Chains A and B, each alone.
Chain A
Amino acid sequence: NAGVTQTPKFRVLKTGQSMTLLCAQDMNHEYMYWYRQDPGMGLRLIHYSVGEGTTAKGEVPDGYNVSRLKKQNFLLGLESAAPSQTSVYFCASRPGLSTGELFFGEGSRLTVL
């Protein structure tokens, strides 16, 4: 049982390039989330999804887009990367609202030069 898998684990981009981070979960969870973690800032929610085909903005959505075409996958896209998007990105999922606990991936470290 893999849980939550993020790819890639590391990536270096140049300013203006685009890329997509993939999150896959094999637990049949309804809710999926993308967070970014920066030193001294804790985790900040970028976008989230409460089911296949649905997405919603979190607290820091600007510069990112997401898609949830399949229940098990949640994609985070950067259309035109900026140095301010250098961060560690975490995907998380949970079965539904009432269960509470989040299951996290191991993170994707992105550097934008």
Chain B
Amino acid sequence: SQQGEEDPQALSIQEGENATMNCSYKTSINNLQWYRQNSGRGLVHLILIRSNEREKHSGRLRVTLDTSKKSSSLLITASRAADTASYFCATDSSYGNNRLAFGKGNQVVVIP
């Protein structure tokens, strides 16, 4: 079964605004990852946050993790048209089953 569940599913914002997406999961994890997928392309890794971390930054990306609530958020600051894509969270289970479980994804449209 899917572990990640992003919310909201679709987001439309103006260029320069911030975009926030949430992800919830069900089981204990080693890490949680966020990926971006441009239309018709493969997924590209954005950022990984480990279970003992609460916040991580990478450029305009900020990820938070709350293991007590089993949830994570991805914030994209000062969005650009090039940020238009689908964003997926994926969880790496701490049960050592060697695989990532992906959520259904958030579609983000940044209007120039």
25 pairs, A vs B, C-beta closer than 8 Å: A31-B98, A33-B99, A42-B88, A43-B43, A43-B88, A44-B2, A45-B99, A45-B101, A50-B98, A56-B98, A58-B99, A90-B43, A92-B43, A97-B96, A100-B30, A100-B31, A102-B35, A102-B43, A102-B90, A104-B43, A105-B42, A106-B41, A106-B42, A107-B41, A107-B42
A106–B44 Cα distance when bound, in Å, is 10
Report if A2 contacts B (CB, 8 A).
no
- Report the 9 A-B pairs with minimum CB-CB distance, sorted nearest first: A104-B42, A42-B104, A43-B102, A104-B43, A101-B45, A106-B42, A42-B102, A100-B48, A50-B98
Most buried by B among A4, A33, A42: A42
Instruction: For chain A, give the interface size range.
Output: 20 to 34
Q: What's the nearest-Cβ distance from chain B to residue A37, in Å?
A: 9
**Interfacial chain A residues near B44, Cβ < 8 Å:** 104
CA distance A31 to B44 in the complex (A): 17
Number of inter-chain CB pairs below 8 Å: 58
Q: How far is the CA of A102 from the CA of B42 in the complex (A)?
A: 11
Residues of B within 8 A of A (CB): 1-2, 4, 30-31, 33, 35, 40-45, 48, 88, 90, 92, 96, 98-105
Instruction: Give chain B nearest CB distance to A89 CB in angstroms.
Output: 11
Please give 11 more A-B residue pairs, beta carbons under 8 A apart, in addition to A100-B48, A103-B45.
A35-B102, A40-B104, A41-B104, A42-B2, A44-B2, A48-B98, A92-B43, A97-B96, A101-B48, A102-B100, A104-B43
Neighbouring B residues of A106 by C-beta, 8 Å? 41-42
Q: Is the CB of B105 within 8 A of A42?
A: yes
